[in-house]
Amino acid sequence: MAIEGSSSGPELLLVLDREAATGLRAQLEEQLREAVRTGRLAAGERLPSSRALAAQLGLSRGVVQECYEQLTAEGYLVSRGGSPTRVAAVRTRMSPAPEPAPRTPVPRLIADFRAGVPDLGLAPREDWAWAVREACRTAPNAAFDYGDARGDEQLRQTLAGYARRVRAADASADRILVCSGYQQGLAVVLRALAAAGKKLVAVEDPGSIDTVTAAARAAQGDCVPVPVDAHGIDVAALAASGARVAVVTPAHQWPTGVVMAPERRHELLAWARDYDAVIIEDDYDAEFRYDREPVGSLQGLAPDHVISLGTVSKSLAPALRLGWAVLPASLAAPVAAVKQVVDRGSPTLDQLALAALIESGRYDRHLRRMRAEYSKRRDTLVASLAEHAPQLRLTGLAAGFHAVAHLPAGVSEERVVEHALARRVGLHGMSRYRSTRAAAPAQLVFGFGNTGPRAIAEGIAAIAPLPG
């Protein structure tokens, strides 16, 4: 793509040797030819105006004009009246790119039930644009400096209030760290915990095993999967694992959709107290609940042993790369020190925009709109499966934007997935989230966040009947 610039013209690095025997115009012509031949200047790229280049190089404008005219005559440049001089499309000496291997055409899917993705088409672009403008308009000059590695204080105050109001968290601005999404939040927390000697991390099975394992090993630690049952993580197995850190999704377990039972929550907190362990609570889609009252965060029950990680990746859009950690007082400084080393802090203007979005009420309004939309899609999924695949039992429907379908005994996940793909529907098996497939029940994870009601209905109809 050609680079466009302002009316003042783009800058161009050229160096002339005034002590050389070759004239300045000849040097200029040869350097521009070489830049075009080697691909340093790409076809369609705009050159500086003759006046601007002459001023930059300390030449008369006439010398630059004559150079441009000569190279235009040779076919290196293109010049049209009233338009800037641009590089012509010529063969360059750059190594040709290898011929791509022939690809099998991928059929366009009727529906893709990939989980974990919100509706990207409903990201609140206008609200976010308003918030960015508001942040730029009202930000003090100091906001454009390197800020606090923990995050902008205004956003931390706003997030603390939001976490107390919506998640019943025990939160204060001095114990919140702003990060670039869940992944970075997990990474900096695990690095700080590993430095304190807590290197073995437990992760729910099934769950985000690959993500947590990669983060634990990057922190010079390791990871162990611990099974999840109908009540949540198996605390007895957790205690036997030797882990002193556990990453859990209690409000809506990923990916089974199980809500951690009250008694299991108390067992997990007792484990943390008895073993001086740390629970990392992934609060990834707690905002989206339908048939039951919201579940408060674990962090609010044991703020000295629980770290709560939140993000706007599900509520707004993954591209914003904004998240936060609510930390125990004892870990606030160590985690902030790791963040300082990693990147000195997340972008301040984006933080101010998020604060403006929440404080204005636009964030809550967007959540209400999306909650209603996802509820409609969930109902469409339930009705479509009841009509076309009544043999499937659905669970995990109380929150979020995915559900789990339990396949009948003897039916293979792989066979159903292949059958659906042949009919241009993307289905995804639970096995990809397990540490082992031994004796695991056959299940499908139906994501409906980024798939609209019409696509859901058409996709389910297309795969019926399911293979036996």
| Domain limits, the chain | 1-99, 111-118+365-463, 123-360
pLDDT at 48: 92
Yes or no: is domain 111-118+365-463 CATH 3.90.1150.10?
yes
pLDDT at 82: 78
pLDDT at 5: 38
pLDDT at 2: 39
Of 370, 366, 398, 367, nearest in space to 382 by CA = 398
Given the candidates 3.90.1150.10, 3.40.640.10, 3.50.50.60, 3.30.1490.270, the CATH classification of the domain at 123-360 is 3.40.640.10
What is the DSSP secondary-structure string of 382-394?
A: HHHHHHH-TTPEE
Tell me the residue ranges of DSSP E strands in 126-184: 176-179
Tell me the residue ranges of DSSP E strands in 100-235: 111-112, 176-179, 200-205, 222-229, 232-233
Q: Measured in whole angstroms, how far is the alpha carbon of residue 447 from the centre of its chain?
A: 17
Q: Which residue has the tokens 């360059």?
A: 92
What is the DSSP secondary-structure string of 272-318?
A: HHHTT-EEEEE-TTTT-B-SSPPPPPSTTT-TTTEEEEEESTTTT-G
Compute mean pLDDT per 10 residues along the chain, 468 residues long, and list them. 48 90 93 92 91 92 94 92 87 63 76 95 97 97 95 97 94 97 97 98 97 97 96 97 97 92 97 98 79 81 97 95 97 98 96 98 95 95 96 90 93 95 96 85 95 97 90
What Rg value do the Cα atoms of the chain yield, rounded? 29
Helix (H) or strand (E) holding 325: strand 323-326
| CATH class in words for 1-99 | mainly alpha
- 458, 425 contact by CB (below 8 A): no
pLDDT at 4: 40
**C-alpha to C-alpha distance for 292 and 385, rounded to whole angstroms:** 22
pLDDT at 1: 39
Q: What is the pTM of this model?
A: 0.86
